[in-house]
Amino acid sequence: MRGRTHARPPESPGPGWLRARLGRPPADRRRSLWRAGTPVVVLLCGALFVVSAANSGGTDLRPGRYTDLASLVKDEADQYAELQQRRTELNDQVASLSAAVSDRDVNRYQRRVAELKDPTGLVPRSGAGISITLSDAPEDVINSTTGDINELLVHQQDIQAVVNALWKGGATAVTIAGQRIVSTTGIKCEGNAVQLQGVPYPQPYVIQAVGDQGALLTAIEGDTYVGAYREDAADPDISVGWGLELEDRLTAPAYDGLLDLNYAEPLVPVSGS
């Protein structure tokens, strides 16, 4: 029809219309959000790392860190060595400050302390002696046994028996794994290791004694418990390790463990006391 106005059909709404209807931010606004949010995420991650490091105290928070006993023993020994070094430094400072004090009573006590250092094991000892090595039975013997496996392993009482026999033989110094043994040293088994001053040492266990070799050998050969252990060592079905060597010269370092003595007190008076 002439004179009739033909209206232009409306355009179909596109993606831009849909974004506007839904309130979706345009591209430049999204980029601004990313720029503002990224530093926040990085700061949060950094804070988590700091919190994890503080809680771990320098150790690994994940389980399964140690795959074998040797790794655990080495790590514990390294930490103990660091603490020993720190303790030595502090003791040196105390000794230096004490020496600078000019007092009659202090000097008298210092002389008494110096006299007791050697008999208490705080002075190195060198001389002839013997070395004894104790170890578990070979792996093939352990795997093939059908009896009590405890007979094939070195135990706390085995080590203690050898040490006691050496003391009876007049040893002037005894070491286990190079660590000086004194009257307060506790020998304690922890799994497949022995603890000395709280530090684990794996087998084989090397026990050395400075003293008269003849007297030490006589004491070892005359000890009933050690004799039974040596019989087990000679039995092919048990074969626990035993070795003895005469040493022309051994050096036993000074004891460098804790000197504090701990003791228990009863909470209530003991009847009859």
Last residue of a domain, one of 56, 88, 106: 56
SS3 49: helix
Q: Are residues 153 and 241 in the same domain?
A: yes
Q: For the residues 188-214, what does the mean pLDDT come to?
A: 88
Q: Which residue has the higher pLDDT, 78 or 224?
A: 224
Q: Are residues 238 and 139 in the same domain?
A: yes
The predicted pLDDT at position 82 comes to 80
Lowest mean pLDDT among 101-115, 149-163, 180-194, 240-254: 101-115
Q: Are residues 195 and 237 in the same domain?
A: yes
Task: Kindly state whether residue 214 falls inside one of the protein's structural domains.
Answer: yes
Residue 18 has pLDDT above 60, yes or no: no
The predicted pLDDT at position 7 comes to 42
Read off φ and ψ for residue 125, nearest 5 degrees: -130, 140
Task: Kindly state whether residue 3 falls inside one of the protein's structural domains.
Answer: no
**Using an 8 Å Cβ cutoff, are 229 and 159 in contact?**
no
Q: For the residues 148-155, what does the mean pLDDT come to?
A: 90
The predicted pLDDT at position 214 comes to 97
Q: Are residues 133 and 76 in the same domain?
A: no
Read off φ and ψ for residue 104, nearest 5 degrees: -65, -45
CATH of the domain at 149: 3.30.70.1880
Task: Kindly state whether residue 5 falls inside one of the protein's structural domains.
Answer: no
> Domain containing 248: what range?
125-252
Q: Which residue has the higher pLDDT, 83 or 128?
A: 128
Q: Are residues 95 and 166 in the same domain?
A: no
pLDDT band (50, 70, 90) for residue 215: very high
Q: Are residues 134 and 246 in the same domain?
A: yes
Task: Kindly state whether residue 33 falls inside one of the protein's structural domains.
Answer: yes
Q: For the residues 21-28, what does the mean pLDDT come to?
A: 51
C-alpha–C-alpha distance, residues 60 and 211, integer Å: 45
Last residue of a domain, one of 32, 56, 80: 56
Strands 125-135 and 193-196: unpaired
Which residues are CB-contacts of 198 (< 8 A; sequence separation ≥ 6)?
A: 80
Residue 28 has pLDDT above 50, yes or no: yes
**Structurally, how many domains does the chain consist of?**
3
Q: Are residues 52 and 136 in the same domain?
A: no
Q: Which residue has the higher pLDDT, 1 or 79?
A: 79
Q: Are residues 100 and 188 in the same domain?
A: no
Predicted model pTM: 0.60
Task: Kindly state whether residue 229 falls inside one of the protein's structural domains.
Answer: yes
The predicted pLDDT at position 22 comes to 45
Read off φ and ψ for residue 251, nearest 5 degrees: -125, 120
User: Alpha helices of 181-267 — where are they, by DSSP H?
Assistant: 213-222, 224-234
SS3 164: helix
> Exposed, middle or buried: residue 211 (CB in 10 Å: 0-12, 13-18, 19+)?
buried
Task: Kindly state whether residue 217 falls inside one of the protein's structural domains.
Answer: yes
Over the chain, what is the mean pLDDT? 77
Q: Which residue has the higher pLDDT, 240 or 264?
A: 240
Q: Are residues 100 and 175 in the same domain?
A: no
Task: Kindly state whether residue 222 falls inside one of the protein's structural domains.
Answer: yes
Backbone angle region of 190, left / alpha / beta, with phi > 0 → left and psi within -120 to 50 → alpha? beta
**Residues 179-191 pLDDT 10s:** 999 988 888 887 7
The predicted pLDDT at position 111 comes to 78
**Residues 31-84 pLDDT 10s:** 565 565 566 666 666 666 655 555 555 544 444 444 566 677 677 777 777 877
Q: Are residues 221 and 151 in the same domain?
A: yes
Q: Are residues 129 and 229 in the same domain?
A: yes
Q: Are residues 98 and 130 in the same domain?
A: no
